Chains A and B, each alone.
Chain A
Amino acid sequence: MSSSKSNKIVKLESSDNKTFEVEEAVAVQSETLKNMVDDGCANDTIPLPNVNGKILEMVLGWCKKHVDETVTGDELNKYEADFLDLDQADLYGLLMAANFLNVKGLLDRVLQRVADMIKGKKPEEIRRIFNIKNDFTPEEEEEIRLENAWAFD
């Protein structure tokens, strides 16, 4: 189908102007980057204005780990578990990056992590986290709460 790509390098630049060079095999863990490579748009440095250096480094680390054949299944599981032990700001950045770069396994894990993090929270906390305006009147909100009092214990 194609010539050996094992030595091809992909260059990426984060929003804060840090450059990263990775093997193509690592980069194509991201569907977004894979499409660019397949379309022949990956010859120059690819700018990623919506992913900062810290997050991009994390994502590329994930991709590298998943391409590395010397890593055992157990090691990978542990890596994935530790990977998501992040503070909220990093988790958000990671979510946006994984979504944009479409790194499949990573996105699913991050989404689950966010879900686990919010499931016990109160509506007020959810609004703060997602920056959502409450457009219910106090009476409307009270009605929902009363109807489903069991869910608010």
Chain B
Amino acid sequence: MAVFAQTVLSSLQLCDCESVSAALFHCHTMSDCLPNEVITDILSRLPAKSLIRFRCVSKEWCSLISSPHFIATHLNRSLSNSQHPQCLFLSHYDNKPDYQDAIHTFVLYLDQEIEQKGDFFAHPSASIELRGIDQSIKYFLHLVGSSNGLLCLANMNFNKERGLCVLWNPSIQKAISLPEPNLQFCGSLNQSVGFGYEPVTDDYKLVRLVYRDTDFHAWGKIVPPLVEIYTLRTGIWRSITAPGPPYLMKMWSSSVFMNGAVHWPAQAPLRQGAFRNVIVSFNVKDEAFGEVGMPKSLQGRKDLEVIVTLVDGLLAFVHRERTLLRPYRNEFGNVIEAVWVMKEYGVAESWTKLFDVCIGRFDRVIGFTKSGEVLVRKAGSGGRLFSFGPSSRGYLDLPICGPEEIYLDTYVESLVLLNVADRVPGRQLRRGPRC
């Protein structure tokens, strides 16, 4: 049944009768007379919500909308649309008196009103809850990264009982749980993850590094981490047999995905207990590790805490260095913090300090707003957000209590995950003897 005939030129006679019914595309023949490519073009301009609804128009439309080609077409159009609002992903509690019963959900706030009302959170325009994931797993999820509208969330407790990651697309309100990873060990681990998109194979990858040797002080002999990769196309974790990168990362290191690679801050050991601060990269296409040099002045600094981030699509980091005020008491004095951006990727000389951050201590860098301000969560202020930069606005008040997990990114609508079968989490959580 050639429902969408490609016969524009042939028997088409326009109806020029006066009484046009509700049928916009009323044809004299019963078969549809709009070419397939015209239908596809129109549909690719629609928001995700409309497309999900239109899946039930007919079987042909349902299979068209779920097809990989259409999903890619829709995504390309979405990406080329210059309006990409920033949004906040955060988890919050639902004001329940009993901590155990608190609902821990991810919502997203769009900041369309920011220009008009000048306030990031005054009027949250949309919030989408993460559904379909076991409540107890949701509790420990934190955001690893996002690409093409797909968010990757990982369980911070990542051990044998709860080693689950989640891929979530808020545009279509669909989430899938990943199978448990291969690398499982008892006790808490030093591990880091990264998430990115590989365009050649049109695949999404999650890379996990696990350090078994937790002796952080033995700088001279870092045992490289074990590495495994999950790809959406295969749906499984695959261990990488080649030796891991010879760097040490802190537990749950911050990561950013840009230029086809995931980046984490790390330290490379030198001889005699010395070390060098670096940024480690993992190219998701070649699945190879590399290194991006840090500014020379910071390479040898001790006690440097680095959080990688993106400023206007460029690799950047916020660093903090504490000067010992009273060494015998282990008290720290001034905290020097600054934002650096790498203007030319891979060129160490192009590292440029944007500005010093002078707001006192903060415990989390959330990200950079479009106006070039850094959004941080200040330590000791009950989780309130603070923005700092050229047009500093001071404290921002979130209308939710204590966001545990907060993440800033640009929101892209997409249908990614639509054609992926729902995967049921492998097993129920059980109580029982550990390991």
Contacts and interface: CB of A to CB of B under 8 A. Distances in A.
Interface residues of B, number: 41
Contacts of B43: 115
Interface size class of A (residues with CB under 8 A): 35 or more
A131 B173 CA distance: 29
A122 B52 CA distance: 11
Given A127-B58, A129-B22, A134-B58, A148 B52 contact: yes
B35 A128 contact: no
B24 A132 contact: no
A92 interface: yes
Contacts of A144: 55-56, 62
Contact of B34 (A50, A130, A136, A151): A130
B394 to A, nearest CB: 36
Given A95-B38, A114-B42, A89 B24 contact: yes
B298 to A, nearest CB: 47
Interface in B4-48: 8-9, 12-16, 20, 22-27, 30, 32, 34-35, 38-39, 41-43, 45-47
B24 A129 contact: yes
A55 to B, nearest CB: 8
B59 A136 contact: yes
Contacts of A61: none
A49 B383 CA distance: 69
A96 interface: yes
A111 B32 CA distance: 17
Nearest to B62: A144
Contacts of A91: 24
Interface string B320-344: 0000000000000000000000000
B241 to A, nearest CB: 40
Interface in A119-140: 119-123, 125-136
A129 B45 contact: no
A57 to B, nearest CB: 13
B228 to A, nearest CB: 32
Contact of A130 (B12, B16, B32): B32
Contacts of A51: 14
A134 B57 CA distance: 6
Given A92-B24, A115-B45, A123 B56 contact: yes
Given A89-B15, A133-B58, A128 B9 contact: no
A123 B14 CA distance: 25
B49 A132 contact: no
A95 B14 CA distance: 12
Interface string B291-310: 00000000000000000000
A152 B9 CA distance: 37
Interface of A: 15-16, 50-52, 54-55, 87-89, 91-93, 95-96, 99-100, 111-112, 114-115, 118-123, 125-136, 141, 144-145, 148, 150-152
16 contacts: A50-B8, A52-B14, A87-B20, A89-B20, A119-B46, A123-B54, A129-B22, A130-B25, A132-B32, A135-B58, A135-B60, A148-B55, A150-B49, A150-B173, A151-B49, A151-B50
Given A52-B14, A145-B56, 19 more contacts: A16-B16, A50-B13, A51-B14, A88-B24, A92-B25, A99-B8, A123-B56, A126-B57, A130-B24, A131-B25, A131-B26, A131-B30, A132-B3, A132-B58, A132-B60, A133-B58, A134-B57, A136-B56, A151-B49
